Structure 1
Amino acid sequence: MKQIKTRHLHPNDTGLATAAALLNAGALVAFPTETVYGLGADARNGQAVAGIYAAKGRPSFNPLIVHVPDVDAAQALVQWSDTADRLASVFWPGALTLVLPLAPGHGLSSLVTAGLETVAVRVPHHPTAQALLRAANMPVAAPSANVSGRISPTTAAHVLDGLSGRIAAVLDDGPCPVGVESTILSLAGTPTLLRPGGLPVEAIEAALNGPVSHHAGDAITAPGQLASHYAPGATVRLNATEAAEGEVMLGFGPVTGDLTLSASGDLVEAAAALFDSLHQLDRMGKPIAVAPIPNTGLGAAINDRLNRAAAPR
């Protein structure tokens, strides 16, 4: 694709106004959320949304999350429900994406939903994301701001490493505090976990007073379900207790390494460090061994990302 100059914007009044104007003009702007940096475009503008797929090299059958500033804006796009209301009252704004049936007259580009009759929608908590959404005054489609299938970005530098020259601007507000993508829950029927993420499923089940189903099958019904995803250039070996010859090691808890997600075994700290650690190790140009991670709480999201990073490509 044609190279353009990517602007590096700061989260002040001038930077936010510039970013909002670019979105309204149909351009692509990367911006921080509490989870990862998103690559935003006007979700109503098919040409702008097509630009996301082109910039990322993303398959067009992989749907996008629409970001809005509040529940009222979400209700304009989807068929709301009592269950959605209960979860939104507890977890929005925050790291939960809800998949709901499209509302009549939603106005979204069909590219956003990849032709599905549902859409994934989220109200982010990050103050800069909130300020941008309100300034732009539109639903913003925004997958992670990285080349498709590669490591997700948790800093503006990560965004520029992969997308500089492909997007109009990045709005830089430092590292993302959560560090893994949002949890995706389908409410188009029985509540079903489609992707573990920054909100532990245990918290959702507590809010619903019961268990949620887990997605089964190969059909792509939400972002982040490709078998190979979040991957570094190097190969990844999981559940390693030490590095083999020629490998670099990503440690956790008592298993030390060249880098460590959390020496104390803190899963919140590990989630925040995951993608930046993979970026750093990938630059070393060697295969990556990863220590075992408990599969509870945020560990489920970390292991989901690591399993996809290690999947055959």
Structure 2
Amino acid sequence: MTIASSEKVSLPVGLYTATDSHTIHFHQLQRSTSDRIRNRRVNERTGKEVELDDIVKGFDTGDEYVLVEPKELDEIAPGRSRSLEIEGFVDLADVDPIFFDKTYYLGPRGEEYSKVYSLLEQALAKAGRVGIATFVMRQHEYLVALKSENGLLTLHTLHWADEIRDPKKEIDTLPGKAKASEEELTMAEQLIGAMSMDWDPEQFHDTFQEKVAALIEAKKAGERVEKAEPAAEPTSVVDLMEALRASIERAGSPKDTGGKATASGHASTSSKGAGRKPPAKKRIRSAPEEDLTGLTKADLYKKAAAANLPGRSHMSRDDLVKALTSART
């Protein structure tokens, strides 16, 4: 594919998938057997299987079906785009995040295009703009944004404007701007301040998929599977101020400062009793470390998931023991 513009600037690039899914996929089997279940194309009236060549597409108009042959769709489908024609450049901030769909990496198709590739990436980064274009892939036309991101060019497919649903039509319980006192608004802002954090996606992981993997390992080993704790029942908020105050106290609770946290999350100490000798620290008897060698692989995996050990899904039982032991030291 080639990035092109009306000014005849062209840049051959390769398109690479930027994301992947770690969802665990299952086959359908008949219970108590290893027999796969296959989906079949069956006539709902006769119950007989239908050959692929005998299937046409039908659009339901309400009163009847409009039949469309597969070759008719092929005949009107646009051919695959050889170039990405940039219509213009817009401010990135003007593109609402709801429009973004999938992301692809772009790389120069050959060393001779490295300079123009880098030049376009740097110019987009400095301008804070994205190139808007359309192109065809797999018989579908896409609206896309060409963006500079962390030193490389990325291509983001965008939703068409008429694909974005109106939230006011979709949600019939929107409150609008609820009336709130200055004190309530201040405390809500303090809660946000107390819970402020740096964005680090590595801190978050798909715990359910890890539990599914642990479930599979446990069933392979013939071990008993522990059920998850039931979710806490939601409580009705009677006093908003009291709920905000409690949330701020929890969010700003001190860990190492020894002082009481204020609403902004900072610890404060009292001058009363200053100079008084602090009490001697009590000796804490540490519990004996658990013997990991006696645990099943499923139990070891659970502990590795709790410790957020990288690469645990590919480790053998012995590897899990070594990794967990190293993590203790």
Return the TM-score normalized by structure 1: 0.16
Larger radius of gyration: 2
Greater relative contact order (Cα < 8 A, sep 6+): 1
Return the TM-score normalized by structure 2: 0.15
